[in-house]
Structure 1
Amino acid sequence: MYPSKSFRLLFLDFKEVSGIKRKMADQGLKYSQLHYREMEKLRQFRRDIIKVIPVVLLSLPPFANYMVFVLMYFFPRQLLIRHFWTLEQQKEFMEIYHSLRAQVYPNAVKNLIKAVSKVPDKRLKNQLLQLGTKVQEGIHPEISQLYLVAKLFSGRPLEIRYVNARQMKILSQVMFLTPHLPTFIMRRRLRSHIMEIHHLDQALNILGVQNLSEDELRIACYVRGLNSVQLNAAECKEWLTKWVQLSKKLKDSEASLLLHSMVLLSTNYHNSRKSK
């Protein structure tokens, strides 16, 4: 993409985000009270800014900006934000990032099954064990199966406050967060980011999945753990509709289930589509 067009898109995003921030300040609104597209715009822009800050800092010393430009040319995925990617690069980089997080999906399911052994409720314990085992065997779970065990994710050992450090590192990678932080910081970031998605889901339920554009559908699925690059609009809509159906029924205290569902509802989805 031409740099001038990229900077123009970035500037337009900045203006839009500034307008949303003014609206929040003037009306005393919280993030969770915004419309879906406003919430999503803030989420995306914040991640873009976080990514670009190190590049800006690297370019501050005299003449360092020339080296930074060279590095950006050779490493666009690592150093540039989406405004400066071509459409082909956007698809390519999304697939690369997803392949990296998908590598930890099996371990996330494995650790979940291990943690279930500490659940005192035998009936719910068996239901969750069966669900996890089916995912390991390549079977895509139904939303109803996940909701049946939602209660288990609001207390020990599956609620975010009690998830062990190893699983937190894995789930951080699932959410594209660094796993190389102290445990208490990882725990706080995981809760913050999954609650953000939960609030987005509530706003999306009001807007209606059917009112999203194809690009919006694809991004929404991708953010929630699914590789949506090769899916068509109907497939994205089907998956996202079921996700929102689950999310809108969950309490804030059950957000850990939503976090684990990024793995459970994505691991075998493509295979389930092929088998139909």
Structure 2
Amino acid sequence: MADFTKKFRASSAGPPPSDPPKEGSLMFKYEKLLSQWPKVLALHRMVMNGSRWCFSDVKSYFSVKSDLYKGIRKIDQLTVPELEVQVQMMTEGPKMAVVCILLPLPLTVYIIGAAIIFFPRLVLTRHFWSDEQRFEYFHREVYDSQFRTLPGLITLYKKPQDVPQKFEDLDINVQFSLLRLHGIYPIPFFGMKRLLKRMEFLKELDKQIRPKINSLTERQLIFNLYIRRLDFSLLTADQMRETLRKWVEFSSNLSNVQYLLAPVHFKQPAFGDKMM
């Protein structure tokens, strides 16, 4: 039987490390030329690092998808890094597909460089953002999704026990609200299918990440709260860690439909001045 215990780098940890260009190589000479303009060199490296990171996630996604389709593995046999990618591909997939198609084409690096400067959130994915941009854009997306959907959903379902047991029993407007809440494009049928698949991967990620919470970096904590649609903007790293821990406890006994509505009912811990 194949060994799937190999340790992969978590996508939430940031771009995979890379070796510097070999001295004398074309890339070495190109970067030496760009070093005359430090900002241009920094932009070039951001594009290259983002491209490697994006390709790495796409490769992981299709490898896992193939294993699941062929029955080689089940979801509970996936690693945390693999689950992270599967969760995010449900929302970032369309943009990542476009990037991966364009990258091999001539001059695409410069197009992506321009997008990083002028339209980073609109055109690109988190792979091409700085840590500061990821924090800002993740927070904005969580806030926007909550602002648009939570008031109406809370009115309908004041507690998890009020939620129907079957997804099909949800009103069509509620289904579309859930798509917006979880960042899924509202495409008929395909949107719902991606939403349910995302939930399946995220529930398994909850189980597997529980013993690893203490070892997560701040970058990983932000990512993990973001994909669960939990606000992190005013929290310290310790508070984010505690919030994630409480979420895992809260969500562990929810049904599938209740889990989709979990961001509606989850009460984030109230932190006093001691932790600020």
If the TM-score is normalised by the length of the shorter chain, which range does it land in?
0.5 to 0.7
The aligned counterpart of 1:52 is 96
Deviation of 1:174 after TM superposition, in Å, equals: 0.8
Counterpart of 1:245 in structure 2 is 249
Inter-CA distance 109–26: structure 2 relative to 1 (3 Å threshold): closer
SS of the residue aligned with 1:161? helix
What's the CA shift string for 1:112-138, capped at 9, x where partnerless? Answer: 25xxxxxxxxxxxxxx4xxxxxxxxxx
What letter corresponds to residue 214 of structure 2 in structure 1? Q
Extract unaligned runs of 5+ from structure 1. Answer: 114-127, 129-145
SS at match of 1:103: helix
Aligned equivalent of 1:226, options 226, 230, 237: 230
Answer yes or no: is 1:193 the counterpart of 2:198.
Answer: yes
Q: Give the corresponding residue for 1:110.
A: 155
Matches within 5 A, 1:198-209: 198-205=203-210, 207-209=211-213
How far apart, CA to CA, are the structure 1 residues paired with 2:142 and 2:61? Answer: 27
Tell whether the 8 Å contact from 2:229 to 2:263 is kept in structure 1 after alignment. yes
1:263 partnered with 2:268: no
1:160 aligns with 2:167: yes
Instruction: Work out which of the residue numbers 94, 98, 101 in structure 1 matches 2:138.
Output: 94
**CA contact 1:221–1:227 (8 Å) conserved in 2:** yes
1:28-43 to 2 correspondences below 5 Å: 28-43=72-87
- Give the match's secondary structure for 2:261: helix
Relative distance call for 1:32 and 1:106 in structure 2 (3 A) is same
* Counterpart in the other structure of 1:169: 176
TM-score (norm 2): 0.67
TM-score by length of 1: 0.67
Residues in 2 aligned to 1:168 and 1:23: alpha-carbon distance in whole angstroms = 30
Mapped contact 1:94–1:229 kept (Cα < 8 A): no
CA distance in 2, matches of 1:210, 1:72: 33
Alpha-carbon contact 1:98-1:227 (below 8 Å) kept:
yes
CA distance 1:71–1:111, shift in 2 (3 Å): same
Distance in 1 (alpha carbons) for counterparts of 2:111 and 2:213: 44
SS of 1:177 mapped into structure 2:
coil
Q: 1:101 to 1:18 in 2, by over 3 A?
A: closer
Counterpart AA for 2:199: I
Corresponding letter in the other structure for 2:95 = K
Determine the structure 2 residue equivalent to 1:76: 120
Percent identity of the aligned residues? 24
Shift of 1:163: 0.7
In 1, Cα distance between equivalents of 2:233 and 2:126: 15
